[in-house]
Structure 1
């Protein structure tokens, strides 16, 4: 089967991580897979090496003028990818996000999570990327339920895989290096943005410092198409008011990330909206205690392997509890949960779904 997987970036965001891992797992099963994406800012490759069995097509996407709005940049992204992509060689065209779904023409669409945009062009793009694909996949039943309730669309649920061994087995020297640099720390991955609940985590950290003054908050990642400078400014101003200084690492190298995660004392995941929570599942693979926002999707995915919180006060209390209490049963349950989510199983689920589409595929 000739399969095209379309993404929107070469950077390490969850949907891009998903696309590459799925492509490699499909290729390992003998399928002919090509990943299409946009090369932003001169990128000629992805953030990590990709198995040579997967073909890569990176469409150059030069920077726009300094005054270009987010909406204009997204519309230009769609136009650029649409002009370059030819669907005719493929049995299945599978878009992984709003931009690629608008560019692909008739396609399968994975809806990782649902957004709510207020600018007209973004709202229109989001709507088209939901209603125009002929088949839909969600990575959790909770998001599939949102799709059914809001649009009457029935989606196939195929959970994410996780690179279990990559996070479960890390070098002692690499972990020790992070501990030497940072001391004890609470880690979150995903950057500083509204959807990630960054302001709530900041408030929780200030409360936690009252009883755990030696613990740092470390924030990694944050590559995004959107302009969160205003939110970041509010976050920085609030940090100054609270007299706390989180460590903001930005994008961490692919080889360094597993040991950063594994060396953490606890992983915080206070997102306001998620489709699955791949970064949190990677933390469980590393054996790190996990505290997440109490959302239906995260209850579904993590169950008894995580601790749940709603308010900053709850979050601070649960983080403090995780720091103070060793829970080998929960740690073991978390590792076992992560180990069950394989990319091989995800790829086989996708192949079964593609084949079920008959003449559409």
Structure 2
């Protein structure tokens, strides 16, 4: 099949990681695959190299000083739609987010469009709220990465979605643990709790900072955080609260892709206090690296991680669960986590997508 996957960014966000890995697995299975994406900040490529078998098409989005979020959303859709309008015919058009779904719909209609819903969110920006709504009601079919998200879609929009979970490159993270790639990070930070996803409301960073105040022997390290949105107000408030509590987080920003497995493997625990998630790809990568996982007690995360994780609801709960994870690591839970990650292969995810494509298109 000729397959076009579209996404909104070249940065290492979960949906983008998913897009590239799925594209590569589909290409390895013999399909003709291309990825289209917006490219901001002068980017000329994705955050990591993409397999040569995958065609990459980037649409530049020049920065405009003072541009509002709403205006940036509309301009991004316009730019991507304009580029896609001139793209060649394909058998499958598969958008990975609301921006690319809106662009594909504008360029070629929604009647033969598939869209993956990675998670649901509540947006206050009118343009983004409209983009989100249109990308749920208009595509011909939807995929969700977990049953919990599919249930939300059914309850909120009356649509049934096909559930296909994320894959994970478990071998890469397991190899980092086996090779001792975490040692340099432990030498740099000491014993640390790792969080990936930056400082933003959906990631529950404030609760994690509050929890770390009760764990003075551990360092908080935060990686990632590239986003379309301006969370400077939230970030400033979180860092102000951290200073009040005597917590000094080490903020790394985006971590080079080849360094991420070692950073994961070096952590004493991985904290995942997100208030909204669709699957939890970074948390699954941590399990593959043999790192204890503490996550918020959400239905979707219970579904995905089950007995491989410790769960908490508030800062006190996170503090207690993290303390237990680092002082009383469970070999049984670690084995469960590694096995869970290994079962989520991109090869399997790609095969399920190909079956769906064949049935729909």
2:68 and 2:56 map into 1 onto residues whose CA distance is 29
Match of 1:204 in 2: 211
1:88 and 1:251 map into 2 onto residues whose CA distance is 33
1:142 aligns with 2:159: no
Contact 2:209 2:242 in 1 (8 A): yes
In structure 1, stretches of 5+ residues that fail to align are none
RMSD between aligned residues: 0.9
Alignment of 1:13-162 (within 5 A): 13-64=13-64, 66-86=65-85, 88-105=88-105, 106=110, 107-162=113-168
Q: With structure 2 as the length reference, what TM-score do the two structures score? A: 0.96
Match of 1:187 in 2: 194
Q: C-alpha offsets along residues 196-231 of structure 1, whole Å, 9 cap, x if unaligned?
A: 00000000001222xxxx310110000100000000
1:61 and 1:119 map into 2 onto residues whose CA distance is 20
Q: With structure 1 as the length reference, what TM-score do the two structures score? A: 0.96
Q: How many residues align?
A: 353
> What's the CA shift for 1:88?
5.0
Which of 208, 215, 220 pairs up with 2:218?
A: 215
**Which aligned segments of 4 or more residues in structure 1 are displaced greater than 4 angstroms?**
none
1:254 aligns with 2:261: no
Contact 2:181 2:265 in 1 (8 A): no
Q: C-alpha offsets along residues 1-58 of structure 1, whole Å, 9 cap, x if unaligned?
A: 1000000111100000000000000000000000000111111110100000000001
Which of 267, 284, 295 pairs up with 2:287?
A: 284
In structure 2, stretches of 5+ residues that fail to align are none
Match of 1:239 in 2: 242
2:57 and 2:125 map into 1 onto residues whose CA distance is 30
1:339 aligns with 2:346: no
> What's the CA shift for 1:173?
5.4
1:219 and 1:153 map into 2 onto residues whose CA distance is 36
1:356 and 1:313 map into 2 onto residues whose CA distance is 48
1:207 is paired with a residue whose SS is coil
